[in-house]
Structure 1
Amino acid sequence: MKTNPSSRIPVNMYFEDVKVGQELSTESHFISESDIFTFAKVTRDQHPLHTDPEYCKQTEFGKPIAHGLFGLSLMEGLKAETQIYEQTSIASLGWDKVRFLKPLFADQRVYVVFKFTDKRLSRKPHRGVVTEEVKLMTNDGEILVEGLHITLLKCRFSRDN
């Protein structure tokens, strides 16, 4: 199986390639203040906690924090950059047990750790359902966001054969 040279993560994993218990991690990403402000603008959620440095000085955070959904979206984006399911993903079936554990700030460097926790064949041939435990981490090892992601993947082999 081909791997992404920058992350050593397999490219185009099929259902059969997934090993329950296997843990992988992405490259890190630097969060800028512009990233946070742009997400606020695009999503139309421009609450001062995310966009107003002066307002935030009066809060327990002291500076703007990213939306929790920014962190969740970034988790999926960093995984996508690895090309792990580039041509094998059929659909994201959703997220369960998502928790925003700590605030995400500008000027932090983060990465994603994900572990395959379950897999099963779908009722339809040629597909399987994979569950990943996913965490957005700081370079200091703090978990900022965590959740379970359920993905529908192509099977390499058909059960019809």
Structure 2
Amino acid sequence: GDVLAFSGLTGDFNPLHVDEEFARTSPFGTRVPHGPLIPDMYLGLLDRLGLVAGTAMAFLELRWKFLAPVLVGDTVHARVVVQAKREVKKPDRGIVTFAVTLFNQRGEAVQEGEHVLLLARKGRD
């Protein structure tokens, strides 16, 4: 479902993503999701967990590496660390850099990177 929906949104119907018979002949032996789908799903999870809910003002930067294949059906989880915080001219906001590693169900790192957000700051006591 998610892979086909992403294909429809992006127009990328590469058979490696959508055709199981074709994908069986690939080095992966099965379909693989589009590379950008996985970090996009992570960003959705970040929002659903409420970690930046109500504070995210802008997505400023993304640096990302694909370390190992993610296969259709894999379960992926994330380790997220605040790597840096930086004040900006306006006191009601700041820039936060997050370091992320995504792991499959076998504990193998499959993707990693950093993303930078402009976040609203909470009032100081």
CA contact (8 A) 1:66 1:105 kept: yes
TM-score norm. by structure 1 comes to 0.72
5+ residue gaps in structure 2? none
Matched, 1:115 2:78: no
Of residues 104, 114, 117, the one that matches 1:148 is: 114
Question: What residue identity is the alignment partner of 2:99?
Answer: E
CA contact (8 A) 2:70 2:104 kept: no
Of residues 88, 94, 103, the one that matches 2:69 is: 103
Matched, 1:78 2:56: no
CA distance in structure 2 between the aligned counterparts of 1:125 and 1:149, rounded to whole angstroms: 21
CA contact (8 A) 1:78 1:112 kept: no
CA contact (8 A) 2:19 2:31 kept: yes
Of residues 24, 37, 40, the one that matches 1:57 is: 24
SS of the equivalent of 1:150 reads strand
Count of equivalent residues: 124
5+ residue gaps in structure 1? 1-33
Identity %: 31
SS of the equivalent of 1:68 reads coil
CA distance in structure 1 between the aligned counterparts of 2:96 and 2:35, rounded to whole angstroms: 24
CA distance in structure 1 between the aligned counterparts of 2:20 and 2:98, rounded to whole angstroms: 35
Q: Which has the higher contact order (CA 8 A, sep 6+)?
A: 1
Runs of 4+ in 1 over 2 A off after TM superposition: none
CA contact (8 A) 1:79 1:112 kept: no
Q: Name the structure 2 match of 1:17.
A: none
Query: How far off is 1:111 after superposition?
Result: 1.3
Superposition RMSD on alpha carbons, in Å? 1.3
Question: What residue identity is the alignment partner of 1:126?
Answer: D
